[in-house]
Structure 1
């Protein structure tokens, strides 16, 4: 399997009640990535994906009913985990590296606790650990994320560090790369859809509800190595919620990207991809 993120055609996993849109490219151990809130196949930076594809068979996909996938849309965490599991089974993978960005990072963690035998490593980018956060995100994030269309200035606020010219330039370059796919693009998620899904959420203050602490207990046990990549100023999922866990989780690796926000893999795509490859290669 080869190809590139910008040219690989979209395929569909026919799963009876729905079709999951996905793209698969690269060589190596399967790495399945779960996307962020409002994200689709074309929300990932292709340079980051292409760098990953040098070491992994990369799989990205749209959740049920979102982007190019069919079915009834939902952001129910268990349903998103089912999407990932059903796609992995459809593709015939016995074991994968599971990863995710933001909301997708929650999906990756819940997949880890639900299907521990299916994974070797967990990759978490710009996301939050289980439970109510000790350090809250900034209101600016949700105010900006709710705009009908997120142009470059919104993306700088949401995923980068507006006060850093280095980060602002990285945002411009990343935005150009994301826009470079000429055809077969995944449809953006309509405002009416994501607002409806948000209104259905039972707990809008916690990205990863864990009322009885069971998710935290499973993830902290050290059964699988976990890598967290975070910007030093993530206004959605502050790194301060991960710092106390470095001495509590038995196999947690934390990488901080300076002058970066909620999308560190788009600001430093090569470094983040190489860090992930090294992590997988050297941890067991």
Structure 2
């Protein structure tokens, strides 16, 4: 297995339909393609989480969406477009039955991917995202107000991705941001704030993910799906998954305590262990 860490992972490029898509690959085990959150680039991932996945036996591939970060093309945050971008990268890299994962917006893309391209992957891993259809609990206005700022410092990151009421979560936020900042060369440019604001809007959407055909796909798919969430996610409340209890036959729910929209950054090793137990120890399903 490679000893390369995510902090020092090489920026690579794949040619996809006339666009150069930037990606990084670490590890040499089961392929796991990860799709990004809103306003995220390859440098939004906590290297502790990625390295923990590698240690669990994964080859982890991250990438920048077209037109954002280090990738060429026209930016488009439509989950349907992002799902097809993920499919194109799987094909371009010659990945055979990888697992696919997505955080937040990336999780919406993965759910569309399941509806369109489920046969290409073995498992789906959703991180801090929301199911399609009506919501029993909406997003908090605080998320939109904070996510629309020009820059998000430590306090904003705590609000967006962690649990401000928990001293342990606030400490985890600081540690995670320090790890992310350690990469100093070859970083992806930030997502333009004007583009992000226009997509997000000023108030939370109702419903958060209006995609009924996708909900029907989740109700009938045979693909194993894991959702890993925090118990106080102000962007995509985890309560919406539990409201579908009994309706999604392949969905496993794991909720981590005193955590927000980035539970895998607060608990990087534990989150990686949950993912590995789900994807790599699949004989019981």
TM-score bracket, shorter-length normalisation = over 0.9
In structure 1, what is the equivalent of residue 157 of structure 2?
A: 155
- Flag as ranges the 4+ runs of structure 1 deviating above 6 A: none
**Greater Cα offset, 70-79 or 176-185:** 70-79
Partner of 2:174: 172
Residue number in structure 1 paired with 2:34? 33
Q: Superposed, which structure 2 residues align to 1:1-284 within 5 Å? A: 2=2, 3-54=4-55, 55-198=57-200, 204-210=205-211, 213-283=212-282, 284=285
Q: d(CA) in 1 for partners of 2:59 and 2:247?
A: 32
State whether residues 41 and 186 of structure 1, in contact with CA within 8 Å, keep that contact through their aligned partners in structure 2.
yes
Write out per-residue CA displacement over residues 70-111 of structure 1, whole angstroms, 9 at most, x where no aligned residue: 111111122111211111111011211011000000111111
SS in 2 for 1:157: helix
Q: TM-score, normalised by structure 1?
A: 0.94
TM-score (norm 2): 0.94
**Aligned pair in 2 of structure 1 residues 137, 204: CA closer, same or farther (>3 Å)?**
closer
- The separation in 1 between residues aligned to 2:268 and 2:245, in whole angstroms, is 24
Cα distance in 2, alignment partners of residues 158 and 248 from structure 1: 29
- Contact 2:139/2:237 (<8 A) preserved: yes
Contact 2:136 2:243 in 1 (8 A): no
1:222 CA drift (Å): 4.4
Of residues 221-230 and 150-159 in structure 1, the stretch that sits farther from structure 2 once superposed is 221-230
Q: Distance in 1 between matches of 2:228 and 2:152?
A: 23
- Measured on the aligned residues, the alpha-carbon RMSD in Å equals 1.4
Which secondary structure does the structure 2 equivalent of 1:245 belong to?
coil
Residue 56 of structure 1 deviates from its aligned partner by 0.7
Residues of 2 paired with 1:37 and 1:52: CA distance?
22
Secondary structure, aligned partner of 2:14: strand
For residues 168 and 195 of structure 1, what CA distance do their matches in structure 2 show? 26
Gaps of 5+ in 2: none
Matches of 2:25 and 2:254, distance apart in 1 = 26
* Partners of 1:246 and 1:252 within 8 A in 2: no
Distance in 1 separating the partners of 2:243 and 2:197: 33
Q: In 1, are the aligned partners of 2:144 and 2:200 still within 8 Å (CA)?
A: no
Q: Is the 8 A contact 1:246 1:254 kept in 2?
A: no
For residues 131 and 42 of structure 1, what CA distance do their matches in structure 2 show?
31
Deviates more, 1:14-23 or 1:140-149: 14-23
For 2:205 and 2:246, locate their aligned partners in 1 and report how far apart those are by CA, in whole Å: 28
Q: 1:140 to 1:16 in 2, by over 3 A?
A: same
- The gaps in structure 1 that reach 5 residues or longer are none
CA deviation after TM superposition for structure 1 residue 132, in Å: 3.1
- Report the CA distance between 1:214 and its aligned residue: 2.3
